[in-house]
Amino acid sequence: MGVDLRQVVAGVLTLTMFVMLIHMIKRDHFDAVDDKQPGTEDFSFENTNFETTHVRKNIGIWKGDGDELKPCWVKPSEDSNSNVEQTEGFVTFSLTNGPEYHISQIADAVLVARSLGATLVIPDIRGSQPGDKRNFEDIYDVDVFMKSMEGVVRVVKDLPSRVSKHKIAAVKVPNRVTEDYIAKHVEPIYRSKGSVRLATYFPSINMRKTGEKSDADSVACLAMYGSLELQQETHELVDSMVERLKTLSRKLDGQFIAVDLRVEMLDKKGCQGSDGDKEKSCFNAQEVAMFLRKIGFDKDTTIYVTQSRWDESLDSLKDLFPRTYTKESIIPADKKKKFLDSEDSELEKVIDFYISSESNVFVPAISGLFYANVAGKRIGSGKSQILVPAYIPDSSASASSFLSHYVSKKNHFAYSCYC
């Protein structure tokens, strides 16, 4: 029986078109995620496995991560411990205002408790709104914290019932409190009242290296970078969101930028200044967009913005970088109610802080403690690509010119902790 050549050709064409149609459907299904409007829910990605073995070690604007540094602090020796008189009192405190403050507050509390020979009580966590209060273990791993403090300071989970909270003296201490300050301003109150409740205030954002390292610096290093670890659910959430951003950035081998840009902060006094001011400390979405474009990032770049909900002022950033996302569009649907719809800003700040610590590039559009303490976390893990925005009058510029002074001058306190 003869074969009709026209039927063969028609069969081949039909099969080819069928294969092309399947390919287009698959591609459109994946690419559609990038085209959704800000704030809309995306497909489930909890089981997405993004392989990063092929990520190229780029130079220039992306640059590869540097070598992860090793902690070079040491726990206080038995000799130094014997010099601290152990007392019967307690040091209590609360973590407030987000993880960028928690890191500093925990270091000050540990140093005060050790200097006084007092027992440190695990803190609660309080947000900016009245009644916004949660337990330490709701965000952090309490077992990791207590283990890290072994041999440094005694720690208990709760204040003993025999100690009245109402009789504990409240004491304010400056961030990065010194042993001399504790001896002069805190110890007399502690000796008189028996216990103290600390509140850390921030007269300035001082995260620069000190001179010669001391035992106090080692204690501060341990507290800041070796004691706080996210509890499992929160850790897994942040990891899944980071993987999501890598997946969305498949055209750039999973590399993405995190930009700390919160619209509500731009109207505050500390953010005011003229465009030509070299000391300008805050940049809006349009300024950040122009900065990123002029130093070489293209339209396919994936950007995570710390602004909680989409604001129309971010449109100018999305116009130049269509793959710009806030947390509401990349968080798993089953976590949205707990972490975004609970009106608990503390959990949202945790997400922002740790995603900003893990991104390939970090751009602090707002100067302050968030920038300083994210920088410290990144330095320890070798993620030194921190680019500080600036007004660029020319059509282009080198990204290396805008590397954070914390990295370029190695003057961040973290360089006292890692080596």
* Pairwise CA distance, residues 323 & 289, whole Å: 12
Say what the pLDDT of residue 47 is.
Answer: 35
pLDDT at 337: 84
Q: What's the pLDDT score for residue 43?
A: 30
Q: How many CB atoms lie within 10 A of CB 355?
A: 23
In this structure, are strands 361-364 and 196-201 parallel, antiparallel, or unpaired? unpaired
Per-residue model confidence (pLDDT) at position 61:
76
pLDDT at 166: 81
pLDDT along the chain (419 residues), means of 10: 55 52 38 36 34 41 74 74 80 95 97 97 86 90 96 95 88 95 97 95 84 81 96 96 95 95 80 56 94 94 93 94 94 87 79 97 95 95 94 86 93 92
Q: Is the separation of the CB atoms in 310 and 328 below 8 Å? A: yes
SS3 112: helix
Which pair of tokens denotes residue 396? 């282009």
CA dihedral of 148, 154, 159, 161, whole degrees rounded to 10: 140
CA torsion 105-109-111-117 (nearest 10°) is 180
Question: Contact at 8 Å (CB) between 362 and 379?
Answer: no
Tokens of 203: 């007269």
How far is it, in rounded angstroms, from Cα 182 to Cα 107?
Answer: 13
Annotate 333-387 with DSSP letters as a single string: HHHHHHHTTT--HHHHHHHHHHHHHHSSEEEESB-SHHHHHHHHHHHHHT---BB
CB 92 within 8 A of CB 116: no
| 268 φ, ψ (degrees, to nearest 5) | -80, 160
Does the global pTM surpass 0.85? Answer: no
**Do the beta carbons of residue 97 and residue 200 sit within 8 Å?**
no
Picking from 405, 400, 403, 402, the residue whose alpha carbon sits closest to that of residue 391 is 402
Residue entry with tokens 């914290």: 145
Check if CATH label 3.40.50 holds for domain 232-417: yes
Q: What is the rounded distance in angstroms from the CA atom of residue 80 to the CA atom of residue 98?
A: 33
Cα angle at 125 between 241 and 107, to 5 degrees? 90
Domain boundaries, the chain: 78-226, 232-417
Buried b (16+ CB within 10 A) or exposed e, 322-331: ebbbbbbbbb
> 209 Cβ partners below 8 Å, 6+ apart?
410, 411, 412, 413, 415, 416
Both structure tokens of 222: 């341990």
Q: What is the per-residue pLDDT for 77?
A: 63
371 φ/ψ angles, rounded to the nearest 5 degrees: -60, -45
- Count Cβ atoms within 10 A of the Cβ of residue 314 and give its class: 0-12 exposed, 13-18 middle, 19 or more buried: buried
* Burial of 144: CB neighbours in 10 Å, binned 0-12, 13-18, 19+: middle
Structure tokens, 308: 């909680």
Task: Please report the beta strands in 189-334, taking only residues with DSSP state E, as ranges in sequence order.
Answer: 196-201, 256-260, 302-305, 324-325
**pLDDT value of position 131:** 72
CB 232 within 8 Å of CB 143: no
Closest CA to 257 of 222, 227, 296: 296
What was the pLDDT predicted at 215?
A: 80
pLDDT of residue 395: 81
CA atoms within 13 A on the CB side of 287: 21
- Whole-angstrom distance, CA of residue 318 vs CA of residue 325: 9
